[in-house]
Structure 1
Amino acid sequence: MADEKGENPVTVMVVDDHPMWRDGVSRDLEAAGFTVSATAEGVESARRRAAAVQPAVVLMDMNLPDGNGADATTAVLEVSPKSKVLVLSASAERDDVLDAVKAGASGYLVKSASVAELLEAVRATFDGQAVFTPGLAGLVLGEYRRMSTAPADDRAPELPRLTDRETEVLRLVAKGLSAKQIATRLSLSHRTVENHVQATLRKLQLANRVELTRYAIEQGLE
């Protein structure tokens, strides 16, 4: 599958300790037009191969023989900082999802997802969107909301103040809605939604929607 300029195929690295699963996912990606530039079975092999091929997207399992997907995500992003990591795991445990997001993953799918859902998620991840299997974002939001009840002395300094509308848009971004979907939901124009998103990014000094989604999760917004 070509990139947004239609020039080069999107490169993907598949990290999974099960050869049959790894090979099957690789075949599905190749059949859809992506280029599988590397595969890896663990944390260290993922680090080495990511450094060598600099994949656009990394499909990351959580259970690896020499660590976990969060460790591997950190390792990959250290050597290939422009890569975007999409976790594809059999685990839907809250701690796994939370650890993956903290490590820098852009999204989290469970392996029960269909091939079509997986391919769509890889494309969305490449495009800078945060992708979660329905319900998982809510689990993470709930955990951060629980953490936000810690004593005031333990909380972070006061954050930039967002308008009610910016907060409303941010909540919907965190749920994985596109600007078009948010515009429809709130009866706004697409341009107005994008203006709110850009204003929020500036206020929070964030670079893109992935960081914006991570911020929303950390603040317990929904």
Structure 2
Amino acid sequence: MGAKTQTCLIVEDSKFDQERIRRIMDKSFKNVFVAVAATIEEAREHMARYQTSIILLDNNLPDGTGANFALELSENPEFSKIPIVMVSDWPTPFMFDKAQSAGVIHVVNKSDFGARYIHAALNHNARPKRVS
């Protein structure tokens, strides 16, 4: 077995959903290391220490919204090119608009989420630049 070549950061506060997403990752992506953060602050701490290849991001988190965190990342040159897939229970039109402004690759309902969205994001060269 080869070394892990990419890191996926799952930002999700539900233990059930963390495990569900981790199982999808483990089954479909053998060379991807999976890290989990339950809050935006934990995600920031992870990203300050480790290179991150892709972020799977819930919108409703204990310390803020994933859509706002995606906007924050899009404004930081160090993180703006990391592909993000938002995985949310109830995607709203407002969340879609904010996610699109942040260059999020996909916004997916948790019940529809699967490996194809991760493949698309990992194969996406870079998130589009945010238009002001």
- TM bracket (short chain): 0.7 to 0.9
Aligned: 1:15 with 2:11 = yes
After superposition, the Cα gap between the structure-2 partners of 1:19 and 1:96, relative to the gap in structure 1 and judged at 3 Å, is same
Aligned: 1:211 with 2:132 = no
Q: Normalising by structure 2, what TM-score?
A: 0.80
TM-fit CA distance, 1:39: 0.8
Higher alpha-carbon Rg: 1
Looking at structure 1, the residues matched to 69 and 5 of structure 2 have their Cα atoms a distance apart, in angstroms, of 24
Question: Identity across aligned pairs (percent)?
Answer: 23
Q: Normalising by structure 1, what TM-score?
A: 0.50
Structure in which a larger fraction of residues adopt strand:
2
After superposition, the Cα gap between the structure-2 partners of 1:27 and 1:121, relative to the gap in structure 1 and judged at 3 Å, is same
TM-fit CA distance, 1:98: 1.0
What SS is found at the alignment partner of 2:23? helix
Aligned: 1:121 with 2:38 = no
The amino acid that maps onto 2:90 is: S
Structure in which a larger fraction of residues adopt helix:
1
After superposition, the Cα gap between the structure-2 partners of 1:54 and 1:74, relative to the gap in structure 1 and judged at 3 Å, is farther
2:52 corresponds to which of 55, 58, 66: 55
User: Across the two proteins, how many residue pairs are aligned to each other?
Assistant: 128
Q: Deviations over 1:148-194 (max 9, x none)?
A: xxxxxxxxxxxxxxxxxxxxxxxxxxxxxxxxxxxxxxxxxxxxxxx
What 5-or-longer segments of structure 2 have no aligned partner?
A: none
After superposition, the Cα gap between the structure-2 partners of 1:34 and 1:76, relative to the gap in structure 1 and judged at 3 Å, is farther
Q: Which of the pair has the greater relative contact order for Cα pairs under 8 Å at 6+ separation?
A: 2
Q: What is the Cα-based RMSD across aligned positions, in Å?
A: 2.7
TM-fit CA distance, 1:19: 1.3
The answer (yes or no) to whether the contact 1:47–1:75 under 8 Å persists in 2 is: no
Looking at structure 2, the residues matched to 71 and 81 of structure 1 have their Cα atoms a distance apart, in angstroms, of 13
What 5-or-longer segments of structure 1 have no aligned partner?
A: 130-207, 216-222
